[in-house]
Structure 1
Amino acid sequence: MTDRTITLCYRKIMDAGAAKPWDKLVWNDSYAEFRLQAQNFNPENRYRTFGEMLHYVPGADRLHFLVSGAVTGYLQQLGERMPDISDNLGRQFLRFQRFQFELINSDLQDQSRHQVAVNFVSEPLRWHDTVGQFLLVSPVAAAASGGEVLTHLVPLQPFLSIYSILTPETDAAANAG
């Protein structure tokens, strides 16, 4: 099998059922910020939900970005490590390069309906093989250095996906042009 360079995406959803302290903080603070920012798009309180604002108020899709400011400090606490994703040895090794905050649903009068997601996109990884329900990966820099390469077995799981793939052919074409 030919090694390929991939990035992974992990979608972490937080809602009223959040059990971990970090998740609860993100959920609570994003709700408070949503209520604050929604006033700019809904000054007459015509709309109750985020979905209604998206449908009826031009520019309300900016709420994703505006609310994200309330959670960036929490993301920095992660030290660029993807939460919840460990290799088969229980190590959180996967680093994220970027993230995207997303309001899924919210209700100005009912916090229990507030739901958000953070999509984490990993640093590039060398995908060596798939072993059962595991991806065998290593950091790209380690694979490029030659010699022994330390690897990780990452279990395939809900909300974790291969986000992008760069095959040697695509890589060669990109470097040629």
Structure 2
Amino acid sequence: MPDRLITLCYRKIIDATATRPWDKLVWGDSYTEFRLQAQNFNPENRYRSFGEMLHYVPGAERLHFLVSGAVTGYVQQLSERMPDIFNNLGRQFLRFNRFQFELINSDLQDKSKHQVAVNFVSTTLRWHDTVGQLLLVSDAAPAAAPGGEVLTHLVQLQAFLSIYSIQTPETDAPANAG
């Protein structure tokens, strides 16, 4: 199997059941910001939920972006390390270079219904092989170790982690006959 370049996407869903401190901060501050920003789309308090605003208020999809500012600082705290994803040695290794915040659900009168997702897209990886249920990957442009050795990681695809994009090496086009 030829090496392929891939990126992975991890969708981290955060709701009222969050137990980790980082998750709780993202959840709480995004709810506070949602309530603040929702006033611009719902000044008469006609709608209670994010879903209702999406359905009835033109431009309400902008709330995803407007609320994302409340979590940007928390994402920066991760130092480009994707949370919750570990290699088979239990080490956090996967770097991300972009993220997208998303409101899934929220309710202006019931904080427990607030649910968000942060979608992390990894830096480019070289996918060497699949070993059982694990992907054998390395940095796309690894620093060559003595003897041409390349350091690798084994990572299992799991819930909310998937291959986001794939790029196969270009092959030479066949010569024109004729």
- Whether contact under 8 Å (1:126, 1:143) holds in the other structure is no
Please tell me whether the aligned partners of residues 138 and 151 of structure 2 are also in contact (alpha carbons under 8 angstroms). yes
Residue 140 of structure 2 is aligned to residue 162 of structure 1: no
CA pair 144-165 structure 1, distance change in 2 beyond 3 A: farther
Q: Deviation string for 1:126-158 (max 9, x for gaps)?
A: 000111111100001117889110000011110
| Cα distance in 1, alignment partners of residues 144 and 128 from structure 2 | 13
Following TM superposition, where does structure 1 have runs of at least 4 consecutive aligned residues deviating by more than 2 angstroms?
A: 143-146
TM-score by length of 2: 0.93
Distance 1:16 1:124 in 2: 33
Residue aligned with 2:148, SS = coil
**Equivalent pair of 2:144/2:150 in contact (CA under 8 Å):** no
Amino acid at match of 2:154: L
**5+ long unaligned stretches in structure 2:** 174-178
Q: Give distance in 1, aligned partners of 2:161 and 2:126.
A: 16
CA distance in 2, matches of 1:2, 1:70: 42
Q: Which runs of 5+ in 1 are unaligned?
A: none
CA-atom RMSD, angstroms?
1.6
In the comparison of the two structures, how many residue pairs are matched?
Answer: 172
Deviations 1:83-139 (A, max 9, x none): 000100111110001000000000000000000000000000000011111110000
- The percent identity for this pair of structures is 84
Which has a greater percent of helix?
1
Q: What residue number does 2:151 align with?
A: 150
